Amino acid sequence: MTTIKEIALKAGYSSATVSRILNNDQTFSVTDSTRETVQTVARQLDYISVGSNQFLDINLAVLFSINPDEELEDVYYVKMRQIIEATAEKSGLKIILVDCKIKPNT
């Protein structure tokens, strides 16, 4: 796993500068050229920021095996669905819940 220190060394900037750029510190004034250099080096070294999807394209699938009728029978499942949806929304992820139970042929 690549560290901020490694990026700083390769980019030629301090660890503090690299950290503030990669953490998108809005109070930090830096030239576009510096920002681009740091971000390019970070991508070259496959840096992944903890708690950030800045350089990732994430797709998320959640298979939820409770159908709406069953959900109405037990509030536990309602709460579980709400927590999944809220957590995904906070992370900027789109979520689609799918009833994946196989229904027998009748």
Q: What is the pLDDT of residue 49?
A: 73
State the alpha helices, DSSP H only, in 1-106: 4-11, 15-22, 32-44, 68-73, 75-90
Q: What is the pLDDT of residue 55?
A: 45
Q: What is the pLDDT of residue 97?
A: 65
Cα R_g (the chain), whole angstroms:
21
**pLDDT tens digit at each of 106 positions of the chain:** 789 999 999 999 999 999 999 988 889 999 999 999 999 999 999 887 765 544 455 556 566 666 667 777 778 877 887 888 888 777 777 776 666 555 556 5
